[in-house]
Amino acid sequence: MIQVLFAAQAEKWEAYAPHLSAEFDAAGLSVSLSQALPPDAVDYIIYAPNSDLQDFTPYTRCKAVLNLWAGVETIVGNTTLTQPLCRMVDPAMTQGMVEWVTGHVLRHHLGMDAHITAPAGTWQPAAPPVAWDQKIAVLGLGQLGSACAQSLARLGFDVHGYARSPKTLEGVTCHTDIDAAFDQADGVVLLLPNTPLTQNTLNSERLARVARGAFVLNPGRGPLIDDAALLAALDSGQVGHATLDTFRVEPLPADDPYWHHPNVTITPHIASETRPKWASKVIVENVARYEAGLPLLHLVDRAKGY
């Protein structure tokens, strides 16, 4: 029998256990799934980085650690974690991110806020540009970024994507030079991983490269933004609006200046959430593959940090 430890906060167990059990049964796997197993008996760990488990040394039999989160920056540097680490690539998470990004790009592109918040009787006949005339920079072309970039391209936007490694995506102009993606962009979407190389990617120099009045969306990671630089760009009008879903400190403190800036929209880290029903399918597929002698999916590259 395969021994699977569920190492996450207690409320997650109630949400995940029925789906995981059903998926293991459907895959024909004989599994003991538990929140408490002797470390030397564990074959797989289903893991959330905010769980109490931080020392992996006793888990000598463990074949893989299967992350419940897309982000691994808080665990990838754990020196006791020597087992293979797989990040979560959940189709529902991808769909949720595409919906959030597409919705907010269209909101800013169409100038919806001006009409939604206008006093009764206000008549504003100025029409927005068409998508063909708007350059959108999507920074980060992993699973989520690629899906968002292609969704925006299908709507007709002039989409420019950035990734460290060369990429080819239908309808998207891909760059390995990040500044080329920023140049005269009307909107910037941040979907890079959080690594030492990506922190403060959105700094004053790059904000100066975008089209005046551009909008910024950050559903990626809080440290991607130099917050002081973004606030200064908002104050000067170089950036017209920022819609932010992730922050360096969460929940965002009540005295943070983002709360009080008229051109900032805050959403509480909801752009993309792991859905237990769909994430369970991903986890069970990986266990089934490895038990059948196939390679694990979504392995983290420790050198890159994602």
The pLDDT tens digits for 259-300 are: 999 999 999 999 988 889 999 999 999 999 999 999 999 999
For 115-124, what is the mean pLDDT? 91
Catalytic residue among 269, 275, 298, 302: 269
Q: Which residues, other chains included, contact 228 with Cβ-Cβ below 8 Å and sequence gap of 6+?
A: none
Global confidence as pTM: 0.85
Q: 70 pLDDT exceeds 90?
A: no
Residue 236: pLDDT band with limits 50, 70, 90:
very high
Q: 7 pLDDT exceeds 90?
A: yes
87 carries an active-site annotation: no
The pLDDT tens digits for 124-179 are: 888 899 999 999 999 999 999 999 999 999 999 999 999 999 999 999 999 999 99
269 carries an active-site annotation: yes
Nearest Cα neighbor of 240 from 250, 230, 248, 249 is: 230
